[in-house]
Amino acid sequence: MNKRILVLGSVLGIIAIILGAFGAHGLKSLITADAIQTFETGVRYQMYHALFLLFVGGFSIISEKTKHLIFYFVLIGVVLFSGSIYGLSTNDLTSFNFKTIGFITPIGGLLLIIAWIVLLINFLKLDRDKS
């Protein structure tokens, strides 16, 4: 599981850097300043969670069950949250109206919050003598 978490964290980080550069340079003349700022929010949260996965995958005090849950919550959460933000911010460039699926953004955000709560619960269950 650690390898999968670390690989996903690395891939999400790489994609965040690529999308960040694309947003800053490729989209600048195509969408509004507000839309670019929204796009950057998606990139920022994707990168936060890429780093979060690298942290989770690198620590042995986090239980395997916790790592498994976090992996899926972050994977699905980033796809729904950041993915929908990318779609919504570039909505004028596509023939698909991403506003029709905009309701998935808060669902993705909730999954990301749950991932952090799962980590907190794991930490609270640690024995005091292990810390």
Residues making up the chain, counted from first to last? 131
pLDDT of 9 over the 70 cut: yes
pLDDT of 131 over the 60 cut: no
Residue 129 pLDDT: 47
pLDDT of 44 over the 90 cut: yes
Neighbouring residues of 78: CB distance < 8 A, sequence distance ≥ 6: 12, 45, 46, 49, 108, 112
CB 13 within 8 A of CB 45: no
Integer angstrom CA distances of residue 59 from 2, 9, 55, 95:
9, 14, 7, 44
Q: How many CB atoms lie within 10 A of CB 40?
A: 17
Q: Report the b/e string of 74-94 with b at 16+ CB within 10 A.
A: bbbbbebbbbbbbbbbbbeee
> Quick one: pLDDT band at residue 130, thresholds 50, 70, 90?
low
Residue 1 pLDDT: 82
At 57-101, the pLDDT tens digits run 999 999 999 999 999 999 999 999 999 999 999 998 988 888 898
Residue 96 pLDDT: 86
Which is higher by pLDDT, 71 or 26?
71
Token pair, residue 109, equals 């955000």
The stretch 7-12 carries a mean pLDDT of: 98
User: What is the SS3 assignment for 67?
Assistant: helix
The stretch 24-42 carries a mean pLDDT of: 93
- Least confident range of 10-14, 54-58, 95-99, 113-117: 95-99
pLDDT of 117 over the 60 cut: yes
- The pTM assigned to this predicted structure is 0.91
What is the distance of C-alpha 81 from the center of its chain?
7
